[in-house]
């Protein structure tokens, strides 16, 4: 006789919090072991007593579907009607089978905010899922510890190495940070090859039309989607679909969304995986060449502000690009402020957030995507203001204000573990300047710029200026033979410098009796001494001997530009009681030089 056994309770795994259609929504997605009725229970954290949810907690019923590849089920529920500036707790499941309790906090639904952008965790890419997962978790920990008020985690795609390998997804979702701060996922080429991406993430306003799939919708993931978060219109594209008219379909989708919602948006941000202004291994892939033809003019015409991309496991920040060309020919590499102006778009490529794989920067090839004429080394592509690869984990922080976006590339790791590609010898060096410089500390900034949309640049030019004007030459009083004395004379000078630093020196250019006054063939026994002072320069307090042409005497140093700095130069001449003095005039012509190392 076989006894009846109780049915095992449904368990929930890989729970993740994702973005909703607006700031008042969140979506919770998860895997379930069974298809029994499930929901998400939510309550303000302040109402929980000893960890127990109140009887009036809000319950959002889940939508469940069978996992088509890995077995089991996947569920999601949209949490709507959330209140601003409120801490919430939630759990997934059903009575008797609830998950652990997690928490998130809404902020104000309008105003300034920060979000974080992560490139290609690609868990499993190094061949060691555990090490890749450790790097990804550490980047999440480091970035949110440094920026605890960040309100959104935006993905550049390639969450995992192999689309349907659940052990890689488990490592990706291991951090509770992904249950506390909403993620906005993007599909990468390593995610598209199966249904796991769609089963793990439910995204708002998603168009899963055939045009947005690389292959069959029955076996692969895809789709474009959008949402508005605190006045920013985000649009995510499945850039894996690019052939057979897919680029035109993406542009039509972006156009329709922008036209419908531009009145609500102070900024427009596009997110997709394949970086069209890629700085590294994928720079001249045929699909990227096609996207460089198809996308830029459309994005400029639609008023896109910022494009966030992944795929190339290295960092770049473009110039302001309009219709595929540099919008402002005077914009300099590494500019800390950029006026995008009408039609100008900034394209950012994110480096690896996990350390699982890095691509080295490539040298531009003359032609369609050639070198930047402002780079004398020829190593930077024409579209990019900054390109960087140090083989350390990084992330991008974006600060949103009404009139600007601030973009920062920030180090989340060093050459030390967790850094799988370095640990496993996948790369041969680590650190800035191809490893010639030691790794910089966690939290240090690789690149930073402020992008102004509605700015009208007003500029002026300062010519390079180093001006030194000498007043009346100094004359000592008459030297008295047989009497020891220190004679002092002075002169004034005027200094104008536009340089970042400056040094005023004096030297005796003659070949005879260097540094001493002469009278025909006679010279004084003691060297001529000099010093200088001014309100803006730093000079020595004591007199120093006047040197020759190869060893001039430093009188003053400047740490910045000055205009009409009044300089007093003093000379001292010692006469000893036994010094022989020849009747006549003792003199020497000296050369004063104002120089700089930072023009």
Contacts of 252 (CB under 8 A, 6+ apart): none
pLDDT tens for each residue of 256-272: 999 999 999 999 999 99
Q: What is the signed CA dihedral for 12, 18, 22, 26, rounded to 10 degrees?
A: 30
pLDDT at res. 429:
97
pLDDT bin (cut points 50, 70, 90) of residue 1 is: very low
Position 28 scores a pLDDT of 98
Look at residue 555 and tell me whether its pLDDT is greater than 80: yes
pLDDT at 485: 98
What tokens appear for 238 in the block? 């499945």
Do residues 435 and 421 make contact, with C-beta atoms less than 8 angstroms apart?
no
Distance CA 416, CA 201 (A): 32
- In this prediction, residue 128 carries a pLDDT of 98
- What is the model's pLDDT at position 341? 78
The position carrying tokens 């896109």 is 304
Q: Is the pLDDT of residue 5 over 90?
A: no
pLDDT digits (tens, 9 = 90+) for 19-41: 999 999 999 999 999 888 899 99
In the chain, pLDDT over 70 holds for what percent of residues? 98
What pLDDT, on a 0 to 100 scale, did the predictor assign at position 4? 42
At 342-380, the pLDDT tens digits run: 899 999 999 999 999 999 999 999 888 999 999 999 999
Least confident interval from 156-160, 312-316, 449-453: 449-453
> Is residue 234 predicted with pLDDT exceeding 90?
yes
The reported pLDDT for the residue numbered 52 is 96
CA distance 563 to 498: 8
pLDDT recorded at residue 3: 43
Q: How many CA atoms lie within 13 A of 588 on its CB side?
A: 28
162-176 pLDDT, tens digit each: 999 999 999 999 999
pLDDT digits (tens, 9 = 90+) for 427-456: 999 999 999 999 999 999 999 999 997 665
What is d(CA 33, CA 145) in angstroms, rounded to the nearest whole number? 33
Q: What angle do CA 404, 343, 270 make, to 5 degrees?
A: 65
Cα separation of the two ends of the chain: 95
The alpha-helical segments, DSSP class H, found in 49-152 are 129-146
Give pLDDT tens digits for 339-348.
887 899 999 9
3-state secondary structure of 406: strand
Report the pLDDT averaged over residues 6-14: 79
Using alpha carbons, list the distances in angstroms from residue 583 to 47, 51, 272, 480, 578.
Answer: 103, 103, 88, 11, 15
pTM over 0.85: no
Burial class of residue 401 (count of CB atoms within 10 Å of its CB; 0-12, 13-18, 19+): middle
**Predicted confidence (pLDDT) at residue 59 exceeds the cutoff of 80:** yes
Residue 98 DSSP symbol:
-
The predicted-structure confidence for 127-146, as pLDDT tens digits, reads as follows: 999 999 999 999 999 999 99
Mean pLDDT value of segment 283-293? 94
Q: Which pLDDT tens digit goes with each residue over 94-125?
A: 998 999 999 999 999 999 999 999 999 999 99
E strand intervals along 402-514:
404-411, 445-452, 466-470, 485-497, 502-508
- Greatest alpha-carbon span in the chain: 136
pLDDT averaged over every residue in the chain: 95
């Amino acid at each position: 006789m076989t006894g009846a056994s109780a049915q095992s309770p449904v368990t929930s795994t890989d729970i993740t919090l994702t973005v909703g259609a607006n700031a008042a929504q969140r979506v919770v997605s998860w895997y379930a072991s069974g298809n029994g009725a499930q929901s998400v229970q939510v309550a303000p954290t302040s109402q929980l007593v000893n960890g127990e949810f109140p009887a009036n907690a809000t319950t959002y019923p889940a939508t469940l579907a069978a996992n088509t590849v890995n077995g089991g089920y996947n569920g999601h529920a949209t949490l709507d009607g959330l209140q601003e500036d409120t801490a919430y707790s939630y759990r997934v499941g059903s009575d008797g089978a609830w998950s652990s309790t997690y928490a998130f906090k809404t902020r104000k639904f309008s105003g300034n905010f920060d979000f974080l952008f992560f490139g290609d965790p690609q868990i499993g890419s190094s061949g060691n899922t555990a090490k890749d997962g450790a790097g990804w978790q550490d980047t999440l920990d480091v970035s949110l510890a440094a920026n605890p008020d960040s309100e959104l985690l935006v993905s550049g795609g390639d969450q995992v190495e192999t689309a349907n390998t659940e052990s890689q997804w488990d490592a990706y979702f291991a951090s509770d940070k992904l249950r506390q701060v909403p993620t906005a996922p993007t599909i990468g080429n390593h995610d598209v090859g199966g249904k796991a991406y769609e089963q793990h993430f439910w995204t708002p306003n998603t168009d899963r039309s055939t045009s947005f799939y690389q292959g069959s919708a029955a076996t692969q993931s895809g789709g474009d989607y959008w949402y508005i978060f605190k006045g920013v219109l985000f649009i995510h594209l499945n850039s894996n679909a690019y052939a057979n008219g897919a680029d035109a379909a993406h542009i039509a989708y972006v156009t329709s969304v922008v036209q419908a919602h531009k009145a609500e948006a102070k900024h427009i941000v596009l997110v997709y995986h394949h970086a069209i202004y890629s700085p590294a291994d994928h720079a001249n892939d045929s699909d990227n060449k096609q996207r460089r033809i198809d996308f830029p003019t459309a994005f400029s015409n639609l008023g896109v502000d910022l494009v966030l991309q992944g795929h190339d496991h290295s960092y770049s920040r473009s110039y302001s690009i309009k219709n595929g060309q540099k919008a402002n020919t005077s914009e300099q590499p590494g500019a800390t402020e950029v006026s995008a102006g009408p039609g100008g778009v900034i394209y950012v490529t994110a480096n690896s957030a996990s350390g699982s794989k890095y691509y080295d920067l490539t040298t531009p090839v003359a032609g369609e995507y050639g070198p930047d004429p402002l780079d004398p080394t020829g190593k930077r592509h024409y579209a990019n203001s900054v390109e960087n690869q140090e083989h350390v984990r990084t992330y991008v922080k974006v600060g949103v204000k009404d009139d600007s976006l601030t973009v920062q590339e920030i180090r989340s790791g060093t050459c030390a573990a967790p850094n799988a590609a370095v640990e496993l010898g996948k790369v041969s060096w680590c650190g800035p300047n191809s490893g010639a410089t030691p790794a910089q500390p966690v939290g240090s900034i690789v690149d930073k710029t402020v992008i102004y949309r509605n700015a009208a640049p007003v500029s002026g030019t300062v010519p390079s200026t180093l001006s030194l004007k000498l007043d009346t030459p100094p004359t000592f009083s008459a030297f008295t033979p047989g009497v020891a004395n220190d004679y002092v004379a002075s002169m004034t000078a005027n200094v104008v410098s536009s340089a970042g630093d400056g040094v005023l020196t004096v030297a005796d250019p003659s070949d005879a009796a260097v540094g001493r006054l002469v009278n025909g063939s006679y010279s004084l026994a003691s060297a001529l001494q000099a010093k200088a002072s001014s309100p803006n320069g730093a000079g020595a307090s004591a007199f120093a001997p006047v040197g020759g042409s190869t060893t001039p005497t430093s009188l003053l140093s400047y740490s910045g530009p000055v205009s009409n700095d009044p300089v007093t130069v003093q000379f001292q001449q010692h006469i000893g009681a036994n010094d022989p003095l020849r009747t006549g005039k003792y003199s020497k012509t000296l050369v004063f030089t104002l120089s700089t190392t930072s023009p």
